[in-house]
Amino acid sequence: MTKKRFLLSCLMLFVAIGFGFIIYFSIILAGNYVIDDKKLVMHSSSSLVDENGQLLTKLFIENREIVSIQQVPQHVQDAFVAIEDARFYDHQGIDFRAITRALYRDILAGSKVEGGSTITQQLAKNTFLSHEKTFWRKTKEVLIAMNLEHKYSKSEILEFYLNRIYFGHGAYGIQAAAKLYFDKDVEDLTIEEGALLAALPKAPNAYSPITYPERSKQRRDVVLSVMERRGYLSPEEAVRLQGKTVAVQRNKVSKKEEYLTYIDMVLDEAEQKYQISNEEILTGGYTIVVPMKKELQESVYEKFQQDEYFPGRDPNVESAVVLMDVETGGVLAVQGGRDYVSKGLNRVNVRRQPGSVIKPLAVFGPAIETGQYHPYSMLNDDIVNYEGYEPRNYNHEYKGEVPLIDALTFSLNAPAVWLLNELGIERGKSYLEQLGLTTEDDGLALALGGMTEGYTPLELTKAYRTLAHEGTYTDHYFIKEVYDRNGQLIINRDGNEHKVFSEQTAWYLTRMLELVVKDGTGASGLTNEPLAGKTGTTSFTAVSGGARDAWFAGYTPNVVGAIWMGHDRTTETSYLQGGSRYPTALFKEILNDLPTDLKSKQFEKPLVVNDLEPPIKLEKVSDLKASLVFGGKRILSVKLTWTPAADERVRYHIYEVTNDHGAQKIGFVDGSGDYLVRSINLFRLHEYFIVPFDYLTDREGPASNISAVSGPFGF
């Protein structure tokens, strides 16, 4: 070789090397141009779990749970590499040998029968490119694949791939597939299970073990054979594993209908309170801890599907209910309609006129809080005209005056309006505002729940929780904690609270609302749970006996809630019948299904309060006798005897009847059936009667018979 030819060869070599570097860096630059690393951050499903860590459901656009390559057993990795890309660990993104072999087989077959794409190419195509079949798209796929190999390790690429690919039935990624088909985590997959999953990406629907178990087994066995041929299995292992049946234990992860209202309200709270968008929740891989009681939520949903709990034959009767933890304010269960659909009309948040449910909050509670009224204070029970407004009792009966406890127990309208008028409307509204119940209405009809908009079941539940929680108001929550995809705590609920009613007022209201359930308007239905609550009904005047809204709001020592029934639009053909007895009975049925840890035996009285004494029943005495007996100031006295009431709290006022002064009270005795009149005039004996007295209401009862004095020893 001459010197000139040698120099020319060297020059050509340097030129070739230079062109090689130019081509290489062009590939790198071109790959960098189309690669957006953010696209490698995959959508990951979020998990909704209860406070014990039990999975309730998943929230996702794509059902995917990201796992690291270290969590994927080696035999599972081997299955995918064997069937998808045998030279994965040897090539740099493009397997020219596989491409040549594929082209050769395509030519022999006269059509495309085998692909030559590597795992890296599949990752590039599925992550960064559209599915159009053009030369330029294929060129970009090659460029991106080579660039991925330059930027990431083989383990990282395989991890991206296994987390991204689709396995059928809505499962994206190896972990979601393991959960879906075998109800286990990826690290627990056996060899044959890993082979079955490796068989799916080629045609997830065609090889589904759920839909086509025989076809799935055949494809799995092909993977096992390839694993044996590539040296990952011995012939004996392959034969043994191919003899196994396909054992699928499906774990359906789709959103459950009974959770739809709860899920929507979790999403709303995340967005409104913590500024986490719905899309971010559905794609961010969060773990969200919620206070839901799974059994209670499912029980509520099931009961809402049963017509027997709803009035009339009209299928359009709707309902909504909220159940909340008394201690924490966490929402235990919620249902926004009988056939609630995701992101549909959530009646939990729809305002309705509350009717008499509002009375303890706007009238009776504030009255007791003033210290001027107590449960046995007497209220006016007459028809009164308040500048054109004349409230009437639902039973059209009026007693002139009734104790507050009776006005609440039997939901009498006239005394409630009279009392609000005495208190002042602004005072009542101020308490409502402290309970989160704002209104622009300022008429006396407020005492009966008559208002323009009204309140939602959620708002009333929170207000009644204040009564159950010793007078302290705390906001509700659906989200207790949120962890990111790395397990880091990013949200920890911290609620604020404030005092609205004193513990004494709250306890008095609880005791009176127990009587509402036992003897008053809330007596419909049966439950073994201690229950305090109030009914409410708003009239539909266009139809006699018709109603627009029916309510029950109440609480046990552990659970508080409100339930509404009615129509989305009340008309003369679609109106409510039966009033509040239906929601009351349904509420009690729901309580009968409380989980064991929420059941209770009785309300526990706070140590710092006085208990509510039971009412004193004043019965007429009809067997009063007056007799002369030895003793007293003048040898003889008059002894009065009668049969006393069983309740020893009854006080008896003693009256003497004279011709000169009429009836005069001369004394009293507590709980006894006799009284000694010591100062008498034997020549002017008088007649006597007694009157039972209730110190709680400061009222006397009916007078007894009048008895003249008989002789000594009855003669």
Say if strands 497-499 and 472-474 run parallel, antiparallel, or are unpaired: antiparallel
Question: What would the DSSP string read from start to end of 646-671?
Answer: S-TT-EEEEEEEETTTEEEEEEEEES
Q: Which residues pair with 690 in a beta bridge?
A: 654
Which ranges of 479-605 would DSSP assign to H, the alpha helix?
A: 503-519, 581-591
User: What pLDDT band is residue 137 in, cutting at 50, 70 and 90?
Assistant: low
Q: Which residues are catalytic?
A: 84, 356
pLDDT tens by residue, 108-132 = 544 443 445 888 888 777 767 655 5
3-state helix, strand, coil in the chain (%, to 5): 40, 20, 40
pLDDT at 134: 54
Nearest CA to 640 out of 702, 576, 704 is that of 704
pLDDT at 374: 97
Task: Say whether pLDDT at 336 is over 90.
Answer: yes
**Overall average pLDDT of the 673-689 stretch:** 90
Say if strands 171-172 and 63-64 run parallel, antiparallel, or are unpaired: parallel
User: Residue 474 region, left (φ>0) first, then alpha (ψ -120 to 50), else beta?
Assistant: beta
632 contacts 679 by C-beta, under 8 angstroms? yes
Task: Say whether pLDDT at 467 is over 50.
Answer: yes
SS3 category, 554? strand
Which of 237-269 are b and which e, b meaning 16 or more Cβ less than 10 Å from the residue's Cβ? ebeebbeeebebeeeebeebebbbbbbbbbbeb
Helix axes 457-468, 503-519, angle to 10 degrees: 110
Q: Give residue 351's identity as a one-letter amino acid code.
A: R
Place of tokens 């009847």: 657
User: What pLDDT band is residue 580 in, cutting at 50, 70 and 90?
Assistant: very high
Q: Give residue 389's identity as a one-letter amino acid code.
A: Y
Helix (H) or strand (E) holding 283: helix 278-283
**Overall average pLDDT of the 384-395 stretch:** 94
pLDDT at 379: 98
pLDDT tens by residue, 220-241 = 999 999 999 999 999 999 999 9
Which ranges of 94-134 would DSSP assign to H, the alpha helix?
A: 96-109, 119-128
Q: How far apart are the first and last CA of the chain?
A: 165
Tell me phi and psi for residue 379, to 5 degrees: -115, 150
CA pair distance 56, 89, nearest whole angstrom? 40
What is the token pair recorded at 572? 């003369």
The mean of the pLDDT values for the chain is 88
Task: Say whether pLDDT at 256 is over 70.
Answer: yes
Task: Say whether pLDDT at 76 is over 80.
Answer: yes
Return all residues near 655 (Cβ < 8 A) that are at least 6 apart.
Answer: 663, 664, 665, 666, 688, 689, 690, 691, 703
Task: Say whether pLDDT at 44 is over 90.
Answer: no
**Overall average pLDDT of the 484-512 stretch:** 94
More confident residue, 472 or 394: 472
Polymer length in residues for the chain: 715
